[in-house]
Amino acid sequence: MKNLNLIIASCFLIFVTSCKTATPVSTAAIQNAPYQDLGHHGKLYAAFYQQRAAEYEALCLQAYNIAQLRLDEALAKNPQRPLAIISDIDETFLDNSYYAVERSKMGKNYDQKTWEEWTAKGIAKPLTGSQEFYQYAANKGIQVFYITNRTEQERAGTLKNLKKYNFPIQGEDHLILRSKESSKENRRKDIAKNYEIVLLLGDNLADFADIFDKKTEGDRSAAVKSSAKEFGKKFIIIPNVGYGDWEASFYNYRYDYTDQQKDSMMYDAVKSNP
């Protein structure tokens, strides 16, 4: 029970940091804050929720149901240009929590080499309702473009995974991986030259527009509020409490902090009073 309580607290700490602004942590805070191993324990509890909670399934279904409603509305308008949707892959319709569990149980973090070993297997499971939605879109003649920050080295494994679960692949150019820049804006613009983009689906705000790219926590929150009418209309977001720019922005996109430093920063950031 003690370990379970620790894991629950860890996940809560990681989730709440997405709503706060990162502030420098003093040397004293780093030295005095009790080490909770929040990074690994939090990832485990996030994966526990993603793999086991019926509420998570309901959230996915809610997102895809709204997405289908928006597609039907777009089709009813007799569009003059071909319609397209743009979708991220990881944690938008493929569940990679199993990779996170494996790494966390080993006491290790994400790294590109082991991630590519995972994606090469092509075995990530589809999120509840995702297969039906993407197949529905394709059957209605809507072009489905997958824009992902997986690399070209991961193309074969990604295609294997999509085919395994019958996600529509309407052409080689419909799977657009990362070449140089992590921002997806130019890739979205290329699609917009020939198609009317009616929907964007993702688990990360940067999947929707460049106003979210590499922004601070405060700027991300302000951008969400300024785009409020787009969520549920053109932007369809799938919950991801395991990782994302919500976490990276808390560390100001610095990747050289140690686990101990990040642990102390999270511990110091969350408050027990409003």
Specify the pLDDT at position 54.
98
Provide the residue range defining the domain that includes 230: 54-240
Residue at 15 is within a domain: no
Contacts 24+ apart (CB under 8 A), 58-61: 59/238, 59/239, 60/127, 60/128, 60/129, 60/130, 60/238, 61/128, 61/129
In the chain, how many domains are there? 1
State the pLDDT at residue 215. Answer: 97
Q: What is the pLDDT of residues 210-261, one digit of tens each?
A: 999 999 999 999 999 999 999 999 999 999 999 999 999 999 999 899 988 9
Report if residue 247 sits inside a domain: no
pLDDT of residue 31: 57
Report the pLDDT value the prediction gives residue 37, as an integer from 0 to 100: 82
pLDDT of residue 160: 98
pLDDT in tens, 77-124: 989 999 999 999 999 999 999 999 999 999 999 999 999 999 999 999
Domain membership of residue 204 (yes or no) is: yes
Q: For 171-210, give one letter per residue: b (16+ CB within 10 A) or e.
A: eeebbbbbeeeeebbebbeebeeebebbbbbbbbbbbbbe
Instruction: Look at residue 172 and tell me if it is in a domain.
Output: yes
Q: What is the pLDDT of residues 63-72, one digit of tens each?
A: 999 999 999 9
CATH number of residue 202's parent domain: 3.40.50.1000
Give me the phi and psi of 234, to 5 degrees please.
-115, -30
Q: Strand, coil or helix: what is 213?
A: coil
Residue 142 domain-assigned? yes
Identify whether 185 is part of a domain: yes
This prediction's pTM = 0.87
* pLDDT score recorded for residue 3: 46
In a domain, 261, yes or no: no
> Could you tell me the pLDDT band of residue 39, with boundaries at 50, 70 and 90?
confident
Largest CA distance in the chain: 63
| Whether the predicted pLDDT of 21 surpasses 50 | no
Token pair for 55? 């509420």
Compare 14 and 219 and report the one with higher pLDDT: 219
Confidence bin at 134 (pLDDT 50/70/90) = very high
Task: Kindly write down the DSSP assignment for every residue of 165-207, as one continuous string.
Answer: TT-----GGGEEEESS-S--HHHHHHHHTTSEEEEEEESSGGG
Task: Please provide the average confidence, as pLDDT, over all residues in the chain.
Answer: 90
Better-predicted residue by pLDDT, 157 or 23: 157
* pLDDT reported for residue 30: 53
- Asked if the structure places residue 166 within a domain, the reply is yes
Over residues 169-189, the mean pLDDT reads 96
